[in-house]
Structure 1
């Protein structure tokens, strides 16, 4: 009874929290073991199937397939050169292709190869047009401008902004200067007409 308080400690094996953690770890371990058993079983079945297929092809009962079978198999069989015919077909290819690829690599690595003209694909123009960042920026600007124009509240705030008032004042000042210029031109023409009709008189000012 004196050591009864120990079951309240976090490290005590009899506490409910530790019992729960142990149970969760055991369940996780069991699930992993089941997955490993399934994977082992699947590997064995695929190996047996590949060996049976190879025996049938050697006996002549089944025609040999030229396709890459390892692409159609599951991911577990990838890299198994002995159990897949895809790697065998790749090994049986003539060496001319490797020669052409090596020559193309040498041409690509030659100095000045980047400046040579390369044939453009059919979708090259479309890709360049739709991947242009400036075009995307302009489209976003047009969309934002359309949203602002369609919003009457924002348009009213813009019209009431000091920048718009300053622009209006600048426009009115320009209009006033233009009217004053026209008035001075009219006055000059009127003065010239008066001096022409009355040459002895002094010029009359419009001021």
Structure 2
């Protein structure tokens, strides 16, 4: 049986910019309250997440190698990132400082059982720019192992930066690749 774990109880209105992130975290929080700690993968009901599914990802830390593997990455994430993450290892998608930073956040979520919200700046190959909010939350496998991260990635529509000839806000990324991720455009928040 899983041991109950205390969870932070901050008001989502004070943490998140995106309503998608707020709804996602509220869903996870309800599951955590019902479970008395970190939810299990089996607790997730996709039917209750239909509007959020395009923005959700599930990452597993592979026990033998310590590598992070994307079990699922929604279509909305593919549209924002310009590539498919599902069935890829994190180190196939990111390199250098970006890989180190994201891996450290994943390890913190799993190791400490905390959620992490960050605001990331994405620079694309055509030099356009977009801000996204990413929420990473711990999730346990059915046997209780804390090796999964349930996450959500959404655009921040109130970006005040000028649009340097990139895609109009709200459109999908086409024929562009993310070439740099500016981690922590705003301070990261663990909760």
Scaled by the length of structure 1, what TM-score is found? 0.18
User: Which structure would you say has the larger Rg?
Assistant: 1
Which has more strand, going by share of residues? Answer: 2
Scaled by the length of structure 2, what TM-score is found? 0.19
Which has more helix, going by share of residues? Answer: 1
